[in-house]
Chains A and B, each alone.
Chain A
C-alpha cells in the first residue's frame, strides 16, 4: 500500500492516458449537486455516458427512427444497418467468433434468465447441479433458484475467503458428475474481486460442463476475450459500459444457441408462422422476439467505438493506480474498514464503519456532492458472509481521478465528525 503511494503519478493520470481530457467527454461530470461539483463514484450501479453516445441516441431519434428487419423503405434499411453494425462492433469488442453469437437483450439480468429458461429447462433435469459462487449478484442467483424449483435441480455455492476471493480448490471439489452448469461472476459487484474465470472454465470443461460468466462488472474495466477465456455464455449490460440503459448482450457459442429453444415468442424470431406450426428464425434472431431497443443497440455501438479509441493497457494502469490510491487513503482512516481485499480487484471499494450505517454515510457524502452506493448491492449473501447489513461502496470508472478520491476522503471525515 505504501509503495503505491510513493509511486505517486501526476494528477492527470498515467503519462499518455489523460484523465482531464477524458472527463471533458462526459458532460454530466460538469454538473453540481447540492451546490458542490459532482463526484460520481457509483459506476458499479451505472456508468455515465460520453457525448458521442448521447449524440448517437439523439441522431437516431431525430433522423433515423424506424423499425428494423421489416420495412423496405430507406429509414428502416438504415436503422437495420446501424443496429446490425452495432452487433458487429460488440462481436469484435469481446472477440466472439461469429456475429450470430451476439444476442441483444435488455441487460445482464435478462441474459441470465434467458440461459436459465432456455438452456436450463431443456438440458438440465432433476438432481442435476448448478454451481455459482458466494459473491453473485442476485441476478445470478434467483434465475437459477427459479429453474431449480421448476425442474428439481440443486444450487451449489463456491465459498469465498475472508479477503473476498473465489476459492478455486473448493470450486474444484464442488464439480462432479451431477454438475451440469456453472454460472459465475467475472468481477464481484460488491467487492470488486476478479474471479479466475479462465481456470474455472478450464476445470469445468474437463468435465464437459458449460460455463456462463456474468461480465457486467468486468467489461467496463478491462478487455474481455470470450474465445481466450473459453466460456460458453457471457453476459453484460450496456449501461455499465458507458452505453444506454435497457440494452445488453448475451454471447453464446453458436452450437449451444442453435440447440436451445426460443426464450420468448413473437415477431422477428420466426421464419414462417401458420396456425399449425411455426418455424423459428436463425440465430441470433431466434432469441430476439419483438421490436428491440434499437436506439439502445446503436448507442451501445457508439460507446464501443468510443472505448476503442483508448489504449486499454493505459486505462487499466490508470484504474489500478486510482484503486491503490483510494485503498491506501481509506486504510488510513481508523474507524472504517474495507470489505474485500482480493489480490485481483477491479473498480470497487466497499467499506463499513462499525457504528455508522452505510445509509447515513451515503446521505452525508451526497451533501458533499459525492455519489456512492449504500446498501447490500443486490448481493445479500456477500453481506451475510462478512456479517454486515450493508456497505458503502465507491466504484470507479476510468474518468475518475485522484481529486474524486480526495473529496470522498474529506466527505468520510465529515461523516465521522457528525457521528463523533
Chain B
C-alpha cells in the first residue's frame, strides 16, 4: 500500500463522509474547543461524564478529512470507556501519531480500529490535523476552558 493509500484508507474516508456522533450534546457536562488557526481546523468536543465513565461523547466542527475522521473514530472508541482508560488511549494515540518510540505493543493492540490512524505519522504536516480532536477531548475531561491547539 502506498503511503497515500495508507493515509486515506477506506475507513477514514468513510468516517469523513459520514462522521459518527457529529452532533451537539446539549446537556454535556464537559465540553472543550480546539482550533488550529494556521490551517483553520475547528472542533468542539462534548462529553457526558458520570461516575468516571464517558456515557456519551460527540463533536461538531469543520476541517479536513483527517481531522474529521480522527474525531469521529475517537467518539466511537471512547464511548463507554472510563476516564482513566480514555486517558490511556489518548497517550497511546498521541505517541502513535507523532511516531514516538516506546509504545507498548499491548497498548497498540488495545487501540483496535484506531491503529488505522498510524498512517498519518508519515505525513508530518498532517499530524496536527489528526491530533486536534484528541487534545480537545483531553482538555474536556480535565475541565480546561482553554482552547486547544496542536499547531
A357-B63, A389-B62 given as contacts; is B125 within 8 A of A363 (CB)? yes
B114 beta carbon closer than 8 Å to chain A = no
A364: which B residues are within 8 A, CB to CB? Answer: 4, 8
A376: which B residues are within 8 A, CB to CB? Answer: 40
Residue of A nearest to B5 (CB): A418
**How many A residues are at the interface, by size bracket?**
10 to 19
* Contact indicator B126/A359 (Cβ below 8 Å): yes
* Contact indicator A390/B40 (Cβ below 8 Å): yes
Q: Give, as a whole number of angstroms, the nearest-CB distance from A137 to chain B.
A: 14
* Contact indicator B13/A363 (Cβ below 8 Å): no
A375 beta carbon closer than 8 Å to chain B = yes
Q: Give, as a whole number of angstroms, the nearest-CB distance from A28 to chain B.
A: 19
* Contact indicator B126/A363 (Cβ below 8 Å): yes
* Contact indicator A363/B123 (Cβ below 8 Å): yes
A55: which B residues are within 8 A, CB to CB? Answer: none
* Contact indicator A359/B129 (Cβ below 8 Å): yes
* Contact indicator B4/A359 (Cβ below 8 Å): no
B64: which A residues are within 8 A, CB to CB? Answer: 357-360
A383 vs B38: C-alpha distance when bound (angstroms):
13
B57 beta carbon closer than 8 Å to chain A = no
* Contact indicator A390/B4 (Cβ below 8 Å): no
* Contact indicator B4/A357 (Cβ below 8 Å): no
The winner among A358, A364, A375, A390 for most chain B CB atoms within 10 A is A390
A131 vs B64: C-alpha distance when bound (angstroms):
34
A367 beta carbon closer than 8 Å to chain B = yes
A419 beta carbon closer than 8 Å to chain B = yes
A363-B125, A375-B39, A390-B39 given as contacts; is B65 within 8 A of A357 (CB)? yes
B63: which A residues are within 8 A, CB to CB? Answer: 357, 389
* Contact indicator B39/A418 (Cβ below 8 Å): no
CB-based A-B contact count at 8 angstroms: 43
Q: Give, as a whole number of angstroms, the nearest-CB distance from B106 to chain A.
A: 31
Residue of B nearest to A375 (CB): B39
A383 vs B123: C-alpha distance when bound (angstroms):
26
* Cβ 8 A contact of A360, one of B17, B40, B66: B66
Q: Give, as a whole number of angstroms, the nearest-CB distance from B60 to chain A.
A: 14
* Contact indicator B4/A367 (Cβ below 8 Å): yes
A81 beta carbon closer than 8 Å to chain B = no
Q: Give, as a whole number of angstroms, the nearest-CB distance from B108 to chain A.
A: 24
When each residue 352-393 of chain A gets 1 if its CB lies under 8 Å from chain B and 0 otherwise, what string results? Answer: 000111111001100100000011100000010000011000
Residue of A nearest to B65 (CB): A360
A375 vs B36: C-alpha distance when bound (angstroms):
11
A360: which B residues are within 8 A, CB to CB? Answer: 8, 64-66
Q: Give, as a whole number of angstroms, the nearest-CB distance from A316 to chain B.
A: 33
A390 vs B67: C-alpha distance when bound (angstroms):
14
The winner among B4, B40, B62, B66 for most chain A CB atoms within 10 A is B40
A358: which B residues are within 8 A, CB to CB? Answer: 64
A357: which B residues are within 8 A, CB to CB? Answer: 63-65
A359-B64, A360-B66 given as contacts; is B8 within 8 A of A418 (CB)? yes
B40: which A residues are within 8 A, CB to CB? Answer: 375-376, 383, 389-390
The winner among B42, B64, B65 for most chain A CB atoms within 10 A is B64
* Contact indicator A418/B125 (Cβ below 8 Å): no
Q: Give, as a whole number of angstroms, the nearest-CB distance from A227 to chain B.
A: 39
The winner among A358, A359, A364, A390 for most chain B CB atoms within 10 A is A359
When each residue 327-365 of chain A gets 1 if its CB lies under 8 Å from chain B and 0 otherwise, what string results? Answer: 000000000000000000000000000011111100110
A7 vs B38: C-alpha distance when bound (angstroms):
40
B126: which A residues are within 8 A, CB to CB? Answer: 359, 363
Q: Give, as a whole number of angstroms, the nearest-CB distance from A301 to chain B.
A: 33
B73 beta carbon closer than 8 Å to chain A = no
A400 vs B38: C-alpha distance when bound (angstroms):
27
* Contact indicator A419/B65 (Cβ below 8 Å): yes
Q: Give, as a whole number of angstroms, the nearest-CB distance from A315 to chain B.
A: 32
Question: Which residues, 25 to 79 on B, are CB-close (under 8 Å) to A?
Answer: 38-40, 42, 62-66
- What are 6 A-B interface contacts by the 8 Å CB criterion? A355-B17, A356-B65, A357-B63, A359-B39, A367-B4, A376-B40
Additional pairs, 4, CB under 8 Å, beyond known A375-B40, A418-B8: A358-B64, A360-B65, A363-B125, A418-B13
Q: Report the 6 A-B pairs with minimum CB-CB distance, sorted nearest first.
A: A357-B64, A359-B64, A389-B40, A360-B65, A367-B4, A360-B64
